[in-house]
Amino acid sequence: MLIKRSPHSLASLAAQLKAARVVIMASDTIYGFLGIVPDAEAEMRRIKGRADTKPFIHLIADLESLDELAIVPESVDIRDFWPGPFTLILPLAEGGTAGFRLPQNSNLRQLIRLVGSPLYSTSVNRAGETPLNNPHIIHQEFGDQVALVEDAGIYRKKMPSTVINLSVSPPVLLRQGAGIVPPGYL
């Protein structure tokens, strides 16, 4: 179902996410598939056609969410990047790494709070193809495979997030996207 962005759309999206369904929503960067961590991972991979070896971004609602999930290097002031269009690869408290993003989009942060869990996110497209920016085309392509598609209008000239690996020293720019890296980090 295609829903227009409205005050009631967040409650509808949250209900679907809590039921471990995948939804599509606009962010501050591009349209993304969203699913609750970890319940929706297999379904998101199936819909997108994404390999098990390529992880999803974890969207969080606030900086405090990282306290239990990841380790921020002492040399990094995370507020230089967030909220905003940066995905930061960070060491996990239990080992390994993951990509985290605190979006600028207040609706998306509110949705994460309503769900009560970080959300997986990835661009709306089949693996290896260009991200889609028109909600009507998105609905035609994926509407029968997801619970809801939010219509926030056509996103023109939007870019995915900039990805920086902060789990290594010095940090490494993995993808240049919408965010401009602050001086002194690379």
CATH label of the domain that carries residue 136: 3.90.870.10
Classify residue 76: in a domain, yes or no.
yes
The answer to whether residue 139 scores a pLDDT higher than 80 is yes
Q: Which two tokens stand for residue 61?
A: 């609602």
Element (H, E) at 59: strand 57-59
The answer to whether residue 1 scores a pLDDT higher than 90 is no
Asked if 168 contacts 75 with a C-beta cutoff of 8 angstroms, the reply is no
Question: What pLDDT was estimated at residue 68?
Answer: 87
Question: What pLDDT was estimated at residue 3?
Answer: 83
Asked if 65 contacts 72 with a C-beta cutoff of 8 angstroms, the reply is no
| φ, ψ dihedrals at 75, nearest 5° | -80, 0
The answer to whether residue 7 scores a pLDDT higher than 80 is no
Classify residue 116: in a domain, yes or no.
yes
Classify residue 77: in a domain, yes or no.
yes
Classify residue 11: in a domain, yes or no.
yes
Mean pLDDT along residues 15-40: 96
Specify the residue for token string 């991200």: 131
Residue 133: pLDDT band (50, 70, 90) is very high
The DSSP symbol for 65 reads: G
Mean pLDDT along residues 135-149: 96
How many structural domains comprise the chain?
A: 1
Tell me the residue type at 67: D
Q: Which two tokens stand for residue 170?
A: 């010095």
Mean pLDDT of the chain: 94
The answer to whether residue 146 scores a pLDDT higher than 90 is yes
Classify residue 182: in a domain, yes or no.
no
Mean pLDDT along residues 59-87: 94
Classify residue 36: in a domain, yes or no.
yes
Classify residue 181: in a domain, yes or no.
no
Question: What pLDDT was estimated at residue 4?
Answer: 84
What is the 3-class SS of 79-141, one letter each residue? HHCCCCCEEEEEEECCCCEEEEECCCCHHHHHHHHHHCCCEEEEECCCCCCCCCCCHHHHHHH
Question: What pLDDT was estimated at residue 170?
Answer: 92
Q: Which of 50, 69, 54 is nearest to 118 (CA)?
A: 69
Residue 153: pLDDT band (50, 70, 90) is very high
The answer to whether residue 42 scores a pLDDT higher than 90 is yes
The answer to whether residue 157 scores a pLDDT higher than 80 is yes
Asked if 165 contacts 40 with a C-beta cutoff of 8 angstroms, the reply is no
Q: Calculate the CA 147 to chain-centre distance.
A: 17
Q: What percentage of the chain exceeds 90 in pLDDT?
A: 89
Element (H, E) at 25: strand 23-26
More confident residue, 94 or 14: 14
Mean pLDDT along residues 97-103: 98
Q: Which two tokens stand for residue 37?
A: 């961590």
Question: What pLDDT was estimated at residue 185?
Answer: 84
Note down the domain range covering 32. Answer: 2-175
Classify residue 184: in a domain, yes or no.
no
Asked if 51 contacts 41 with a C-beta cutoff of 8 angstroms, the reply is no
